[in-house]
Each structure stands twice: as structure tokens, then as C-alpha cells.
Amino acid sequence: MTPRSESSGSHPKKTAGEKIPEQPTAAQQKSAAKKTAVPKQAAAKKAVAKKAVAKKTVAKKAVATKAAATKAVAKKADPAKATAAKSTAKKVAATKAAAKKTPAKKTAAKKTTTTKTAAKKTTTTKAAAKKATTAKSAATKTTAANPPAKKAAAKKAPAKKAPARAAGAGKVAARKAAPAQVVPPEMEIAVSPAVDAVDRERLLGGTHHDPHSVLGAHLVPGGIAFRAFRPYALSVTVVAGELRAELHDDGEGFFSGLLPLREVPAYRLLVEYEGTLLDTEDAYRFLPTLGDLDLHLIGEGRHEELWTALGAHPMTHEGVTGTRFSVWAPNARGVRVAGTFNFWDGTGHVMRSLGSSGVWELFLPDIGEGELYKFEITRPDGSRTLRADPLARRTEVPPATSSVITSSAYEWGDAEWLARRAEAPAHEAPFSVYEVHLASWRPGLTYRQLADQLPGYVKNLGFTHVELMPVAEHPFGGSWGYQVTGFYAPTARLGTPDDFRHLVDSLHRAGIGVLMDWVPAHFPRDDWALAEFDGRPLYEHEDPLRAAHPDWGTLEFDFGRREVRNFLVSNALYWCEEFHIDGLRVDAVASMLYLDYSREAGQWTPNEHGGRENLDAVAFLQEMNATLYRRVPGVVTIAEESTAWDGVTRATHHEGPSGFGGLGFGLKWNMGWMHDSLQYMSHEPVHRKYHHHEMTFSMVYAYSENYVLPISHDEVVHGKRSLVSKMPGDWWQQRAGHRAYLGFMWAHPGKQLLFMGQEFAQGAEWSEAHGPDWWLLDPGYGAEPDHRGVRDLVRDLNTVYRATPALWRLDTDPAGFEWIVGDAADDNVLAFLRLDPEGSPILAVSNFAPVIRQDYRLGVPEDVPAWHEAVNTDAARYGGSDITNPDPVKPEAQPWHGRPASIRLTLPPLSTVWLRPA
């Protein structure tokens, strides 16, 4: 560093490391020398003056535009040590003055010819003074260029070079104070610590890609530059141990200062606002919280635990607690974090871009759970948008849209369930599903209140699983959760994410599996969510024709973009791993598979082979299923696919006739069976003989996929009427038809799914506004036995079903089914056998006519000695006419229906009867 010009003045408060006052005789000698100085001395003075001008020029460059030189206010050093050092220095100066009275001319010449020596001494003195100041716990405070008079008396900061010592006294005193240190060459020339104009503009405009390279503490020539960007702050002070340095206010929220330190210390910031003093860590002193592996996997689209890398995560980083924010926004010019912690002004919380990954990151210390936040994105056109976090794991309660910082502390109690759920694949196990709209099952209940009631209810009815809708956060309740904005957040309407975990855990401990509706096909256009997230199409396809979903006014995901595919695959894993979900019912698969889905000619573009198949969607579904089954033992995926796509439930590595590998789902909704069977049941019995094929056609393709038979929410809303109301006839016939249909459904190959309210024959359509009509089960209601009887039937169907392997073990194997009679259209009768792998049968007979059929003969296997009723939907306890076969029915040796033996049964009207070997 360039030494300061000398000064002949002394100061009564100088410490040992500074200018030492001369003895009176020395001062008089110096005064006399000045009077007798020759022209050579004048030349020396001119050289010294020139050096002083140069020194001032350097000093001016070392401060901000409007700032003067930095001055420090030091605490008083230890009085005893200071007095001793001062006394020693005085003795040395006095001795030299007495022993060596150098003429003024000679002294002046000596000063002129030994500039380098003087500079070296000054540097040594400065270094010693600096160390002495540190050792004596001096607190440095940066001040303006013209400090008050009382501050002028204090020790000057090292940025202002100490004067050269007369007659070597300063050097001796400095050695007494502390060992000399040499300032490294790179620190010899000070630089301005202020943020330059370009960076300043980019930070203010929210377009800076690397704020950490500018803000924080940085080693520069002359020391350590501290820079802070704190809008609305009155002052910012750096605190490092006992060092306190107030930074210069550079305007517009920028503060800076240059401290003569050799390395960046551990420091904090004291930020003063109007009426508030904030003691905090500097967010811009931390290294990135994401490593190269995370960024590499994100770039490859292979980060299977994406939720651990992106989003908001409370954590401890470099020994400091806070929250790590990260978001993928590759088209953004800049990203900032705004939230309750900065009064929704993200100006001072600028995120950094992590290379070419498109990921922006910022660790904010002292920020924790419960804070609301969004990302403020500067788009390519310079406009700004405030967006919810795509990977937010908690949200505000709609219609509020902010994301919420959260972490889980939940302790699971379902280890036993998880250990045994993989014992058998879903298609070879009992699998009957109760579909629940959580918000309206019991309106007003929270997740934890549902956990107290739902498991017991479902267990009592004998269902093996529940399917929950909606789970992921969505802005409009009337969408039933099928227009998702928070793909990683359970809806906040019913509680916190840990509350939802508690519900799942409670169901598991009751022995009930949990499925959830999952919606990867599309997302809404809300301007605070995913649509054009960073100013350009990102999650949606860049081709508007490919992006717009024609049916729902939403946007389709761009399944060909690896980061988008990663977002969705990871989301599937997230629900199953973080919330212990046992299966995903994947919504609207057909709309994903076809480029021309609901589109007219000219509104779609064929694939590279000239076909209508969406090859990107096929690849995504295959990857999702393969990844999920690999990582989560016992999980099942279920496709809501309404077409005859080949290989929905075939393994992904098995190529089918179409040339595609299978999609890899575990099960598929049998939409054809649902449509045909409900169509048949809606006809008057007298006309059913003309539609008999609608009940038998399903067996033509029953083993082409692994099927679920769904009577879902979609079938009991929007004018379709409830299940019992679809049945023709009077109230008795409607209930009888309802019961007979359920008996047929539970016996048919495939798994069963029934929407809430249909288990007790609710007459009204379902509405999310009020849910099931539970009052129908009130004992005070006159028709209560009618509804309770249907619910009792559902319980008994499930009980017998679960105890009878013939009804589920070979659901996907033709060896598990045999027709007895499938062509009795005039009688409205269907009869078939279900078999288990050992050949043990159960006989199901349905009479969809409103008449009793006495002694109805049916062919049966000859090796069964007798049959008895296991279920009769016409039993009195279910609300029927109680026409039953109470005694075991023995086969006769009369061939019938192509079999060597036969039995005669009494078939109740509008009923289904199950018989098993006695």
C-alpha cells in the first residue's frame, strides 16, 4: 500500500503504533532546521508534497462515488500497555535527539534520498499498529469523509497510511507493540468496494445471474470488500468477533466498505431499519447448497428424488440454519424470492443461476417453517411475474395461492403394512376399492378428523382399499382435484402435509391400502402457476396446438422434454415414498396417448411415423411405471384409459402387435364394462333381452388387460343420476336392481371400485358441495332400513369375496372363469363359475327379470356333492323379498348346458345368488 505523506504534527491521543511526540528540544531543533533550510530542503518538501497528492488520489479511488476516505473509531487500548509503550518510545526519541543533533539540511536531504526506507518503515509501522489494534480488541467503525472533531482525535484507519516516523521512533515503538507484518503485494493498491454501475442496475432490475460474485465479502487488492444489498435499510454494519464496521451507504439499498483484512472472517450483519435492528447472517456468503450430481441429474432428466433438490427446504448449511430455495426456470433473465419474511418485496433476495442447468438457488439464513413465499421471475421480455413454487410441499388454503415452507417430523407406524403389501401383486389379490372425495365425505372434517372416522367405516364395510380424490392442491374445488397447481402438496383445505400422512398411516394400521388420483395429463392456465412459468412455454408444449387441451381449457405437459418428464416421474415417486401411497390411479391416460384426442383434422400433427400416437407420452408412461415399480415394492398403478390401446398393463419390455412395448400399468379401468353394464341395467326388464350382449361382451376381452370394474364419481354426477336411480321401476325394483347389479359386479372377473354414497343406495346425485346423504341412515328416517340393507349387502359381498380365492386369484387368467349359461336372453339370466388355481368353484347366477323363476335348471360340475347359498341379494336383511334356497342344493345326474350334472334353483326376482360347495 502507498505510504501517506509525513506530518510534523503530534496528537495527544496517539497510541504506541502511531506518531510519537518529540521532546521539546527536538521540536525546537526541527523548527530551527526549517528556518535554515537550503533549496535542497525545498526540493525535498516538494517531493513529499507530490507524494501526499498521489496518496490523496489513491485514497479517493478507494471509496464509493459519494463517499470520502474510510475512517475507523477505535476503542481505547489497554491503558497500562499504551503508557508503557509510549514511555519507551519517548525515551528512545530523547536519547537519539541528544546523541545525534543532525542539521536540518542534512535531515531534509536524508528524507529525500531514503524514500523507500521511509515507506518500508511506514508499512511496517502500519502493520504493527494494525496487529496491535486487533490484539487490543479495537472496534473499527467506518465514518463519512468529514467526521466530528472528537473522532478526528481517534486513531486513523489503516486505509489512511500512518505518517513516516521521525528519527526512527515510530519503528521502535511499533516493534514494542507487535511483531512487524508484511502486506502481500496483491493488497498494496486499494480498490473501490462499491458495486459498479452495471451490477447495480442488474441487481435492481432483478436480472443478475450471479449476485454472490458481487455481494457478500470478497478478497480484493487492499483487503476485504464487503457489499450488501438491503433495500430500505438505514445502515448495515459488519460484525466479526469484536470487529464492528459500519458500511458506507451507497444509495438505493447498497452498502459497501473495504476492511484491511487478510482473509474473509466469519461475520454477521447488523441491519438497521426504521425502528428495527436485525442481526443476521449474510445470505451471499454461502456456497451453493446443490452439488454437481444434483445438477447433472436434473439436466439429464433423471433426478428421481427431485423434491429433495428443488423447492424450499429448511436446513442447516455451513453450520447456519435457514431455508434453501431452488427453482427450475431456464428462460428467466433473473429470479428473486419474495415472501412474508421480506414483506413480499424480493428486490434484496436475488437468486443465482447454477450454470446451464436452468436452476436458480439461494440459501436464506434465519428463515424457517411456516413462512409464505413465491418466486419473482423476470421474463425474457423484461416483465415480471410472481409464481408459486412448482415443487412446493405445502400451500396456503385456496383461494390464496402462496407456497409455504415446510418439513416433516412425522413418525410412521405402518411398518407392518409396508412389509407385507408386496406379498402378492394387486391383480392376484383381493382388491375392492371405496372411492372417497375427501372434502365432502364428511364435510368439514380435517385430515386428522377423517383419520378418526374413515378407517373404521371402510374396514367395517370390508373394502381392501380406498381411493382418495382430490389430494394434490388445486385452486377450484369444483374440479374435484383434476386441475392441479400444487403437484407436490396435499390440499391445504383439510390440514398440513403431516396431517395427511397421519390419515394414510391410520388407514394402513386399519389394514386398508391407499390409492390416490394422480393427474399428469394437464394443468390449468392460472398465471401464478405453471403456465408459461418463466415467460415462455416450459411445462407445456411449445406448439400451441399440442399444448392446449381441447376438452378442459387446460394445458398439456410437454412429455418430450426431459426435465418435464422428470418433474412428473419424480412426483409419482414422491407420493409413494413420502406419503406411503400404495397406488396411483392415473387420470385421463387416453388424452395423453393420442395426438388427435378430441381434435379435428388439421388441428394435430402426426408423429414421425405418420401415426396418431403420442410417442413422447408413451415413453413417459413407460418410464414412470418402470421407475415406480422398481423403487416402491408392492405399489400398483391404475390407468383410466378408455380406448383399446394395446398393452396398457403389459410389461414395458414386452412388445405387442402394435410394435410398442407395454405401458407397464398394473391395472386398467374397464370403461367398456362399466358403460355396457350400466346401459343394460337402465333398460326396462322387458327390453333387456334385446341388450343381453351388453352384459356378456366384456368376457370377450376380459383377459386382454388386468381390469378394474369402476362405478366411480364420474358415473353419478352431471345428470347421470346415482346408481340406484339408474334402475327402472318403482323404489323396490330400483333397490333390487341395485343390489343385483352389485352382486354381479363383485362376481365378474376384475377388481371392484364403488364411489361413496352408492354403498347405501343414495338416490340423489353426488355433489362436492354437500357429499353423501348420510341422513338416509338415520334410524329416525322411515326408509332407513332400505338404505341400511344395501350397505349390509356391500359388507357381506366384501366379506365373502375376500374369503373366496376363486373370486380374485385368477382375475387375469381365463382358467378362472367358465360360462354356465350366457345366452339366456329371454330369461334375463346369466350364470358362470369362478375358479381358484386348485379348481375350487363358486357359482354366480343373476336374474335381471322382475319375476321369480322356480326350479331353474343349471348345468354344474359333477364333482361337487352339494351347493349352498353364500350370498343372496334378495335376502330380507338387505331389503329383499327373502326368496332364498335355504337348504343345500344337490346335483342331479341330468346333463344340462353341456355338463354331466345339473341343479334346480329358485331364482328371486332382480337378484344375484352366489353358491359355493357345501
- Paired with 276 in beta bridges are 273
Tell me the three cell numbers of residue 591: 388424452
Q: How far apart are CA 558 and CA 539, in angstroms?
A: 6
Radius of gyration of the chain, Cα coordinates, nearest whole angstrom: 42
Q: Which segments of 817-878 are extended strands (E)?
A: 817-824, 829-835, 841-847, 853-860, 867-872
Strand-strand pairing, 911-917 and 841-847: antiparallel
Specify the DSSP class assigned to residue 340: G
130 φψ region: left (φ > 0), alpha (ψ -120 to 50), beta (else): alpha
Query: φ and ψ at 693, to 5 degrees?
Result: -65, -25
Tell me the three cell numbers of residue 664: 407397464
Contact present, 711 and 754 (Cβ < 8 Å): yes
Cα 620 to its chain centre, rounded Å, is 20
Strand-strand pairing, 583-586 and 636-639: parallel
Contact present, 575 and 516 (Cβ < 8 Å): yes
Specify the DSSP class assigned to residue 311: E
Give burial (CB, 10 Å; 0-12/13-18/19+) of 568.
buried
189 φψ region: left (φ > 0), alpha (ψ -120 to 50), beta (else): beta
Tell me the three cell numbers of residue 349: 433476495
- Cα–Cα distances (Å) from 235 to 145, 228, 274, 289, in that order, read 16, 10, 10, 29
Q: How far apart are CA 507 and CA 510, in angstroms?
A: 5
DSSP string, 226-253: EEEE-TT-SEEEEEETTEEEEPEEEETT
Residue with C-alpha cell 375392492? Answer: 432
Q: How far apart are CA 867 and CA 83, in angstroms?
A: 115
- Cα–Cα distances (Å) from 187 to 6, 53, 155, 184, 453, in that order, read 22, 21, 21, 6, 72
Task: Quote the crossing angle between the two packed helices 447-461 and 497-509, to the nearest 10°.
Answer: 20
- Cα-Cα-Cα-Cα torsion 748, 463, 787, 872, nearest 10 degrees, comes to 40
- Paired with 322 in beta bridges are 315, 365
Of 489, 475, 634, nearest in space to 571 by CA: 489
- Cα–Cα distances (Å) from 30 to 34, 43, 644, in that order, read 6, 17, 109
Of 568, 695, 715, 545, nearest in space to 628 by CA: 568
Specify the DSSP class assigned to residue 44: H
- Paired with 856 in beta bridges are 905
Helix (H) or strand (E) holding 726: helix 723-726
Q: How far apart are CA 69 and CA 232, in angstroms?
A: 24
SS3 84: helix
SS3 181: coil
Of 829, 842, 847, nearest in space to 912 by CA: 847
Q: Which residues contact 765 (CB under 8 A, 6 or more apart)?
A: 716, 717, 718, 719, 720, 721, 722, 725
Tell me the three cell numbers of residue 44: 525535498
CB atoms near residue 775 (< 10 Å) = 10
For the annotated catalytic residues, the residue numbers are 587, 640
Q: How far apart are CA 361 and CA 908, in angstroms?
A: 70
